[in-house]
């Protein structure tokens, strides 16, 4: 069964901290891994997409890494801000089911001023 | 601006009633998807369509139906056969079948009254 596990489920940090969100997945035949942000009651916004041939992607204060051999990805957020408060979802698709993203249940992040 | 429009934002359904959720995109994307999100959980795929006049069941298609008569539109009908329809429904599209350039709508919250 293809699964995504995200740890921790919730995280509260003071403003300015660097933090790491973890994602583990069960299928090594990964095609893409994506990180999304979801604000309460809203849709998802794509943050970073890592293709299977890549090891990391960066966008501003965000850096995502991918280790296929261990089945893990991390999202690193530098110098966190209250505006980063949201739920962060990790999702992957595979070579044989590339149409379908398999999602984790997310990490709910609160950055306190 | 290009994007995906979902309507309505909130929808209330009586027991035994069919309801239809609208999803329209102007991104010229070939593939469209419907996901369901329950509180504290990740997204689960209901149906997807890679081209006009063709669609496939996802992981939780029972009690749902779709149509894809136009490239821009992918409406989802929640039928009376869906026993627990209260959830947040998200429509998405992508440039191709491999989930690249995934874009989500803002969602429809369906409640059974």
Interchain proximity A105–B105, CB inside 8 Å = no
Distance separating alpha carbons of residues B113 and B17, to the nearest angstrom:
11
Q: Which residues, listed in sequence order, are joined to residue A10 by a DSSP beta bridge?
A: A108
Interchain proximity B99–A103, CB inside 8 Å = no
Reduced to 3 states (helix: H, G, I; strand: E, B; else coil), residue A9 is coil
Q: Has residue A28 got a pLDDT over 90?
A: no
Predicted local confidence at residue B67, as pLDDT: 97
CA-CA-CA-CA torsion sign (B87, B111, B9, B39): negative
pLDDT tens per residue across span B13-66 = 888 899 999 999 999 999 999 999 998 788 999 999 999 999 999 999 999 999
User: CA nearest A88 in B: which residue?
Assistant: B42
Distance separating alpha carbons of residues A34 and A75, to the nearest angstrom:
10
Supply A35's token pair: 């990180």
pLDDT tens per residue across span A3-18 = 899 999 999 999 999 9
Interchain proximity B43–A101, CB inside 8 Å = yes
User: CA nearest A105 in B: which residue?
Assistant: B42
| CB contacts, 8 Å: B51 with chain A | none
Interchain proximity A103–B103, CB inside 8 Å = no
Q: Which of A12-16, A90-94, B2-6, B98-102 reaches the highest mean pLDDT?
A: A12-16
Q: Has residue A34 got a pLDDT over 90?
A: yes
Q: Has residue A92 got a pLDDT over 70?
A: yes
Interchain proximity B104–A49, CB inside 8 Å = no
User: CA nearest B55 in A: which residue?
Assistant: A99
State the average pLDDT for chain B: 92
Indicate the pLDDT class of residue B98, thresholds 50, 70 and 90: low
Interchain CB contact of A91 with B (< 8 Å): yes
Interchain CB contact of A104 with B (< 8 Å): yes
Least confident interval from B65-69, B83-87, B96-100: B96-100
CB-based contact B4:B103 (threshold 8 Å): yes
């Amino acid at each position: 069964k293809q699964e995504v596990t995200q740890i921790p489920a919730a995280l509260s940090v003071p403003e300015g901290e660097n933090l790491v969100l973890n994602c583990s997945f069960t299928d090594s035949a990964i095609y893409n891994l994506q990180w999304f942000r979801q604000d309460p009651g809203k849709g998802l916004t794509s943050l970073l997409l890592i293709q299977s041939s890549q090891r990391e992607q960066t966008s501003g204060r965000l850096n995502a890494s991918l280790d296929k051999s261990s089945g893990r990805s991390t999202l690193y957020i530098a110098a966190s801000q209250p505006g980063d408060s949201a739920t962060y979802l990790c999702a992957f698709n595979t070579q044989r089911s590339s149409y379908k993203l398999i999602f984790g249940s997310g990490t709910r992040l609160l950055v306190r001023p | 601006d290009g994007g995906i429009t979902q309507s309505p934002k909130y929808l209330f359904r009586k027991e035994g009633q069919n309801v239809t959720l609208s999803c329209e995109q102007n991104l010229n994307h070939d593939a469209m998807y419907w996901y369901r999100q329950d509180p504290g959980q990740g997204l689960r795929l209901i149906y997807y369509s890679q081209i006009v006049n063709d669609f496939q069941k996802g992981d939780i298609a029972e009690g749902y139906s779709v149509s894809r008569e136009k490239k821009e539109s992918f409406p989802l009908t929640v039928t009376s056969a869906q026993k627990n329809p209260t959830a947040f429904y998200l429509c998405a599209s992508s440039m191709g079948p491999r989930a690249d350039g995934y874009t989500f709508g803002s969602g429809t919250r369906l409640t059974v009254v």
